[in-house]
Amino acid sequence: MKRETPVERKARARKIIRLLERAYPDARIALTFSDPLELLVATILSAQCTDERVNQVTPALFKKYRTAAEWARLTPPTLEPQIRSTGFYRAKARSIIGMANALVAEHGGEVPRDRAALTALPGVGLKTANVLLGNAFDEPAIAVDTHVFRVSQRLGLAKSNDPDVIHDQLTEVLPKASWTRTTHLIQAHGRRTCVARAPRCPVCPVRALCPWPEKTRA
Ligand code: SF4
């Protein structure tokens, strides 16, 4: 593929979004939640873990602990065994309890609807903040998880070793109104077709717009 101008890349990105929408109309966030606090806990648990595994663990937790104050009162020895199967359970327990204490101390127990306030919470980075903004608060937001990180680079829409830089590059190339939806579409594409080890290029719906259409041959 010849070198693109920023205008050409934006036009290609729009076409990619249209084709991904057609291919994955059912794309949606995979984590199960019913309010912003549940989504925040689930997203912290999803680091280095599949969403399916998180969804197995969270129903029992969400039944027991319903408010930030209830999460804040937990101790690591109580929480750790309950989240052990999600991996990195010590760090995740610390993050969840610290995050809940900060919500109680600084936000009246509510999850703030603001990127800077979210990323100031213990254990909450840009990706987690954007998952919250996009899916609990209906704000346009791109969450760069492992799929968005890999697929956006394969598609030549961004390039960096740093997910936060990928995020900033994607905000330049994708229409703002589509940020949250495009996150879901790229994640669906990354899970079902442009998978990590052997992408299914011969059946890829955006093959004609990809710089690496023969990454995997038939
Ligand atoms: S052509 Fe292959 S590498 Fe390119 S987006 Fe499709 S599956 Fe991924």
Residues with CB under 6 Å of ligand 1 are 154-155, 193-194, 199-201, 204, 206-207, 210, 212-213, 215
Among the four given CATH numbers 3.40.50.620, 1.20.120.1690, 1.10.1670.10, 3.40.50.1440, the one describing domain 6-27+142-209: 1.10.1670.10
The model's pTM is: 0.92
Residue 110: alpha-carbon gap to chain centroid: 21
What beta strand segments (E) does 30-158 contain? none
Average pLDDT of span 41-52: 95
* pLDDT tens string 196-207: 999 999 999 999
Confidence at residue 212, expressed as pLDDT on a 0 to 100 scale? 79
pLDDT at residue number 95? 97
pLDDT tens by residue, 166-191: 999 999 999 999 999 999 999 999 99
**Architecture (CATH level 2) of domain 36-135:** Orthogonal Bundle (1.10)
Confidence band of 218 (pLDDT split at 50, 70, 90): low
Q: Are 135 and 98 in contact (CB under 8 A)?
A: no
Helix (H) or strand (E) holding 121: none
Instruction: Work out the percent of the chain whose per-residue pLDDT is above 70.
Output: 97
Structural contact between residues 150 and 190, judged by C-beta atoms closer than 8 angstroms: yes
Pocket test for ligand 1, best of 153, 192, 212, 216 (most atoms within 8 A of CB): 212
Q: Which atom of ligand 1 is nearest to the CA of 193?
A: 7
Residue 1 has pLDDT above 70, yes or no: no
Q: What is the pLDDT of residue 217?
A: 62
In this structure, the residue with its CA closest to atom 8 of ligand 1 is 194
Helices (H) and strands (E) in the chain, counts: 11, 0
Predicted local distance difference test score (pLDDT) of residue 3: 82
Residue 177's region, left for phi above 0, alpha for psi from -120 to 50, else beta, is alpha
Q: What is the domain partition of the chain in residue ranges? A: 6-27+142-209, 36-135
